[in-house]
Amino acid sequence: MQTKQLLNELSNPKLSKLVTKNMEQRLNKLKVFYKKNRRLPTYQEMLSIFGLSSKNAVFRIVSKFVEEGFLQKRLGKLAPTSRFFSLPLLGLVKAGFPILAEEDKKYLTLDEYLIEDPISSFLLTVSGDSLIELGIFEGDIVIIERRDTAATGAIILAEIDRQWTLKILRKDHIRQKMYLESANAKYPPFYPKEELKIHGIVKAVVRKVS
């Protein structure tokens, strides 16, 4: 693409759809480079990546990415933002009769979607099959939000008699006592002999399907 045409795209609001498409292609090229090299390319390297001959054109592209929130400048150097790693949200698709997804071109970062409070959240890998009836399987990653209280029915990270586990919090209204329940019929309820502590609640489950 000629530099003059590129500059027209970046400054002409009538070409917004074309800009979006071309900028997305350039963003994908940056992502490929970042995945391979674990860093962003230099301005000189971007000349080759984007097929341009003008550093001024590269500067305008970078400025557009900064403006849109995909890149940021730290101590004079470019760095990716969380939006740089976002994925396009293309609309809705039904799980019944097949229909085409409606393309919205919104961008969504999974951390923003899954993690409400990143400061107090952490990840754990599930071991065991006690929650399979809830669709939580061994090897899944769960997002835990640190809490010392939870509502009945919540999936919690608990310490019961100094043993750590993921279970469902329940209340025995006859005994007036809290206990833990599995989501697998082969396991009995777990009543604390000494104490039951809540250390967090499960906010989301992450699993690769292939």
Tokens 């699993």 sit on residue: 207
Q: What's the Cα-to-Cα distance from 150 to each of 5, 85, 154, 181, 199, rounded to whole Å? A: 58, 32, 6, 14, 9
Judge whether 63 counts as a catalytic residue: no
Q: Is residue 136 part of a domain?
A: yes
Judge whether 130 counts as a catalytic residue: yes
Is 13's pLDDT higher than 70?
Answer: no
Share of the chain above pLDDT 90, in %: 53
Among the listed residues 204, 210, 33, the one whose alpha carbon sits nearest the alpha carbon of residue 110: 204
Supply the pLDDT for residue 59.
Answer: 92
> Residues 6 or more apart from 19 whose CB is under 8 A from it?
9, 10
pLDDT digits (tens, 9 = 90+) for 61-72: 999 999 888 899
In the listed set 64, 84, 104, which residue is the last one of a domain according to the structure?
Answer: 84
When the pLDDT of each residue in the chain is averaged and rounded to a whole number, the result is: 84
Asked if 199 and 125 sit in the same domain, the reply is yes
Asked if 123 and 201 sit in the same domain, the reply is yes
Catalytic choice (31, 167, 186, 208): 167
DSSP β-bridge partners for residue 197: 159
In the three-class reduction of DSSP (H, G, I as helix; E, B as strand; rest coil), residue 204 is classed as: strand
Tokens 């994908």 sit on residue: 28
Asked if 77 and 125 sit in the same domain, the reply is no
Asked if 130 and 190 sit in the same domain, the reply is yes
Supply the pLDDT for residue 100.
Answer: 54
Is 76's pLDDT higher than 70?
Answer: yes
Compute the distance between CA of residue 189 and CA of residue 179 in angstroms, rounded to an integer.
7
Query: In what helix (H) or strand (E) does residue 89 lie, and over which residues does it extend?
Result: strand 87-89
Supply the pLDDT for residue 160.
Answer: 95
Compute the distance between CA of residue 51 and CA of residue 45 in angstroms, rounded to an integer.
10
Torsion of CA 8, 13, 15, 18, to 10 degrees: 100
DSSP β-bridge partners for residue 131: none
**Domain count of the fold of the chain:** 2
Among the listed residues 183, 205, 180, 185, the one whose alpha carbon sits nearest the alpha carbon of residue 195: 180
Supply the pLDDT for residue 75.
Answer: 81
Q: Is residue 90 part of a domain?
A: no
Catalytic choice (77, 130, 186, 193): 130
CATH assignment of the domain containing 152 = 2.10.109.10
Comparing 136 with 10, the larger pLDDT belongs to 136
pLDDT digits (tens, 9 = 90+) for 149-187: 999 999 999 999 999 999 999 999 999 999 999 999 999
Burial of residue 72, with CB atoms counted within 10 A of its CB: 0-12 exposed, 13-18 middle, 19 or more buried: middle
Comparing 185 with 116, the larger pLDDT belongs to 185
In the listed set 61, 84, 107, which residue is the last one of a domain according to the structure?
Answer: 84
Domain that holds residue 33: 3-84
The pTM of the whole model exceeds 0.85: no
Q: Is residue 112 part of a domain?
A: no
Supply the pLDDT for residue 6.
Answer: 52
Asked if 76 and 23 sit in the same domain, the reply is yes
pLDDT digits (tens, 9 = 90+) for 26-56: 988 999 999 899 899 999 999 999 998 888 9
Q: Is residue 110 part of a domain?
A: no
Q: Is residue 151 part of a domain?
A: yes
Comparing 115 with 9, the larger pLDDT belongs to 115
Q: Is residue 142 part of a domain?
A: yes
- Which CB contacts under 8 angstroms, 24+ apart, belong to 11-19? none
Q: Is residue 103 part of a domain?
A: no
Compute the distance between CA of residue 53 and CA of residue 37 in angstroms, rounded to an integer.
23
Is 15's pLDDT higher than 50?
Answer: no
